[in-house]
Amino acid sequence: MFDGLLLALDPAHLLLILAGVAGGVLIGALPGLTATMGAALLVPFTFVMEPSAGLVMLGAMYVGAMFGDAVPAVLVNVPGTPSAMATAFDGYPLSEQGKGQRAIIAACWASAVGAIIGGTALLVMSPTLAAAALAFGPPEFFWLGAFALTIMGSVAGSSFFRGLGGGLFGLLLSTVGIAPAGGTSRFTFGFYQLQGGVSLAAALIGLFAIPQLIKLAENRKQRTRISQYVPERRVFRHIWSELRRPVTLIRSSVLGTFIGVLPGSGASLAGIVSYNEAVRWSKDRTKFGKGAVEGVVSVETANNAAAPASMVPLLSLGVPGSNVAAIFLGALLFHGLEPGPSLFDDTPEIVFAFVWAMILGGIAVFILGRVMAPLLVRAIQAPVYALIPVIAALTMVGSYAVRGNMFDTYMMFVLGIVGYVLMKIGIPVAAVALGLILGPIVENGLDVSLQMAETAGIFTVFFTRPISLVLMALTVLSALWTVYSNVRRSSRTEG
Amino acid sequence: MNDAGTTAPAGTGTGRRIAFNHDLLSGLALIILGSFAYTWGPGWGERTWVFPNMVSWLMVGLGILLAVIGLARRTREKLFESWRAAVDVSWFSASVLAFFLLIPQIGYFVATWLFMVVQASVLGGRRHPAAVGLIIVVAGLLALGMYQLFGGAFNVHLPEGRWI
């Protein structure tokens, strides 16, 4: 393990870590470009490097991208990748209040802590976590997705039922395309481009960015800038007041690590669940959605902890649990490393150097984010009339970049208009996005569980497995709590 | 239904604000969407439609609940401050759509440059004559920079256009 650390601390490797993080931040910050795309672009360059150098750079790039996606989410309400969707809930309101610098620095602190804790878990608990991940089957995934859906109460805004309606609409949107089982086309209306479903990146850009742009254009006479830059001399003191109570950090790191380990779940789910728990356990739940640093911290810690943790199934079992891990699998194989139980015994220095690179990447994220935050916040001080066209052009590039077709751009625009109409009638677009992200997880879990039940002849798969039972109980309790707290809040408001 | 679609006097005196019952509107939207989604599919016969059907039914149920709440409360919340604001929103949305539709014809670079210059001017830049020249130059550099960055560094080639 320490040989790996020494290898990662090699000056050339440190430079590669910095370069990887910087590249990752850029990729994450550009809407439409994801960590997967960044890894795919970087892998060919690693072919000419030493295995340790190539893997170190890849690991650092991944960590950088997981932080970079928070930057546009905070500054202009456009999540760089789906993982940063929940970052925008509180990050953008902070930016609107002139506290964008605080939000970005909090995000980079949280990202660093998440990457360090997730990386450490990968370093010391890989086999245990892999075994725990194997205990998760379709019923457990179904309940985990359903549990995450209870966050709708936290993002519902003024009306819980309208928030729920938005979430259902998102779930319906997630069913567009070829069904996961059976191969039937659903809601494609003759467009072959919809066979693969609604592009998540394009949908999120449309739902978050286009309504915001239209709102800015509508109010441009009253509001000439997105936010006023307020130099914050005591920014660290403000953030420290949040971070000195490490409960949020620890809870989000643990959730992020565990959810990250589960194959197919991903950093988006980790961020959503973590945000939901931050809201649930907060003494002042009303501050969320209006610019709570704790909200930004909870999401960024979790999705950055999930990034190294998502490598657990790959390194321990040889099973890529995410798209990025699948690309890393190709890189490992090219460099002559066979992922699986014997990997840590056969080439320990290289594998540990890769893991250490993610941890050191977390530290690099902190330094880079701290330096960049004031510059980034100043960049959006341009007048609204100049910023709106630039952001509109970026939405086009972001939606086009994922699959390289204009159809996704048109889809993004249509969903943007739908999002604006929904916003006007009081349905939060965040709830729609939530349904869209969680839909495939819930549907796949439900579908395969039903198949299992049919095969077994009994419909008890959801209730007889201990983890499924616990998750089901948590989901029911969380849903009841959500309804209760929203009804109580409504009656207080009306009273 | 007596609330929906009516206008209420504006408090500001700059026009008539447009107000609707949000719960009623949301409820109707959910009922229409849910019913459409359910009738589009083959019903409960195929397993691949179980999940969309469940969601559709829940949408219809929730829509009815929201509509009832809306009718009972009979409140109206504003959609737009005035008809002028609604026209502004329509114009902006149409111009963004025109920009996206133009891209395959004249290419990303030219379309983006044109869009940025026209939008920045219409949204307020023309009131600052000194800024107009700057907008033209900066818009061109941004469009070109983005084109080169995505094409060169990320291998994402933005549309080149049929006409240009």
3-state secondary structure string, chain B?
CCCCCCEEECCCCCCEEEEECHHHHHHHHHHHHHHHHHHHCCCCCCHHHHHHHHHHHHHHHHHHHHHHHHHHHCCCEEEECCHHHHHHHHHHHHHHHHHHHHHHHHCHHHHHHHHHHHHHHHCCHHHCHHHHHHHHHHHHHHHHHHHHHHHHHCCCCCCCCCCC
Hey, what are A468's tokens?
Answer: 């499924």
Distances (CA, A) of A19 to A13, A60, A368: 10, 8, 11
Of B23, B104, B143, the CB nearest to A393: B143
The Cα of A411 is separated from the nearest Cα of chain B by a number of Å equal to 11
Q: Do A175 and B52 touch (CB under 8 A)?
A: yes
Distances (CA, A) of B55 to A74, A105, A480, B51: 32, 40, 19, 6
- Residue A493 buriedness (CB in 10 A; 0-12 / 13-18 / 19+): exposed
Q: What is the pLDDT along chain A (495 residues), one digit of tens a residue?
A: 677 788 888 888 899 999 999 988 888 888 767 788 788 878 878 877 888 888 899 999 999 988 888 888 888 888 888 888 889 989 989 888 888 888 888 898 899 999 999 888 888 877 777 777 777 788 888 888 888 887 776 666 667 888 889 999 999 999 999 988 777 899 998 899 999 899 888 898 899 889 988 988 887 777 666 666 666 666 667 667 666 668 888 999 999 998 888 876 678 888 888 998 888 888 887 788 888 888 999 999 999 999 888 888 788 777 777 778 888 888 888 888 877 767 777 777 888 888 899 999 989 998 888 888 877 777 767 788 888 888 898 889 888 988 888 999 999 999 999 999 998 888 888 889 888 888 988 898 888 888 888 777 666 777 778 888 888 888 888 888 877 777 776 666 655
The Cα of B16 is separated from the nearest Cα of chain A by a number of Å equal to 16
The Cα of A489 is separated from the nearest Cα of chain B by a number of Å equal to 17
* A1 SS3 class: coil
Spatial distance between the Cα atoms of A62 and A66, rounded to a whole number of angstroms? 6
Q: Do A182 and B124 touch (CB under 8 A)?
A: no
Low-confidence ranges of chain B (pLDDT < 50): 1-14
Considering only alpha carbons, which residue of chain B is nearest residue A494? B73
Considering only alpha carbons, which residue of chain A is nearest residue B83? A218
Q: Do B119 and A388 touch (CB under 8 A)?
A: yes
Hey, what are A45's tokens?
Answer: 């360059």
Spatial distance between the Cα atoms of A150 and A472, rounded to a whole number of angstroms? 12
Considering only alpha carbons, which residue of chain A is nearest residue B39? A187
Tell whether A225 lies on the interface with B, counting CB pairs under 8 A.
no
Q: Do B20 and A447 touch (CB under 8 A)?
A: no
**Token pair 């009131």: residue:** B127
Hey, what are A493's tokens?
Answer: 């408001």
Spatial distance between the Cα atoms of A92 and A144, rounded to a whole number of angstroms? 27
Tell whether B79 lies on the interface with A, counting CB pairs under 8 A.
yes
Of A33, A210, A393, the CB nearest to B115: A393
Phi, psi (5° rounding) for residue B8? Answer: -120, 150
Phi/psi-derived region of residue A405, left when phi > 0, alpha when psi is between -120 and 50, beta in every other case: beta
Of B49, B93, B112, the CB nearest to A214: B93
The DSSP 8-state label assigned to residue A178 in this structure reads E
Q: Do B104 and A397 touch (CB under 8 A)?
A: no
Spatial distance between the Cα atoms of A398 and A84, rounded to a whole number of angstroms? 15
Q: Do A406 and B159 touch (CB under 8 A)?
A: yes
- Residue A13 buriedness (CB in 10 A; 0-12 / 13-18 / 19+): buried
Q: Do A386 and B115 touch (CB under 8 A)?
A: no
Q: Which of A330, A171, A329 is nearest to B56 (CA)?
A: A171
Spatial distance between the Cα atoms of A244 and A250, rounded to a whole number of angstroms? 11
Q: What ipTM goes with this model?
A: 0.86
Considering only alpha carbons, which residue of chain A is nearest residue B102? A406
Q: Which of A341, A310, A304 is nearest to A127 (CA)?
A: A341
* A186 SS3 class: strand
Tell whether B66 lies on the interface with A, counting CB pairs under 8 A.
yes
Q: Do A187 and B155 touch (CB under 8 A)?
A: no
| Residues of A in Cβ contact (< 8 Å) with B50 | 446-447, 450
**Token pair 């891209």: residue:** B103
pLDDT of residue A140: 85
Of A172, A179, A427, the CB nearest to B37: A172
| Residues of A in Cβ contact (< 8 Å) with B92 | 213-214, 217-218
Tell whether B84 lies on the interface with A, counting CB pairs under 8 A.
no
Q: How many inter-chain contacts (A to B, CB under 8 Å) are there? A: 171
Tell whether B150 lies on the interface with A, counting CB pairs under 8 A.
yes
**Token pair 């002028």: residue:** B84
Task: Answer for the pair A25, A368: CB distance below 8 angstroms, yes or no.
Answer: yes
Tell whether B58 lies on the interface with A, counting CB pairs under 8 A.
yes
- Residue A2 buriedness (CB in 10 A; 0-12 / 13-18 / 19+): exposed
Q: Crossing angle of helices A247-261/A293-309, nearest 10°?
A: 30
